[in-house]
Amino acid sequence: MSAWIVSKKHIDALVTFAVENDLIVTHNNEEYRIADNPDRVGQELWAENYRSVNYRYAKEIPVPLYIFQREEFDGIIICKNLSCYDYQTCECDDYNETFAKAFVIELNKTLEKLGYTWKKLEGLIEFENASWGID
């Protein structure tokens, strides 16, 4: 399995969708409303992605400072690229216990409520043509 560092725009898109849908993530018995601190959330998501890639390839690439910038994409793009983020970020053994994984789970639930699931979208031209990664 390979992994790569997702772009800042990729993180921005996920955080924007979470903010627009008033996502609340529970992690370690605490609730985090994403809209309250999108900079911190984006930094955490990006840091976990870097940690995954660094672990996978025995590197020490530093995580850049993250400052949230709105990047709006429709649910089709977000659905595919949330899965992409999850795939690129899952290399560490403790990934399932991280805030990033909790974010992925909650955003997936929101996408499902809005009708955006792989099962429903697979085969649609818009979904198939959507890139795996946001540049």
Q: Determine the Cα–Cα distance for residues 1 and 67; give it in Å rounded to an integer.
A: 30
Q: What is the pTM assigned to this prediction?
A: 0.96
Q: Which helix (H) or strand (E) holds 88?
A: helix 75-89
pLDDT value for 61: 97
Average pLDDT over residues 43-52: 98
- Spell 111-134 as b/e; 16+ CB within 10 A means b: beeeebeeeebeeeeebeebeebb
| Residue position matching structure tokens 């499902």 | 112
- Average pLDDT over the chain reads 96
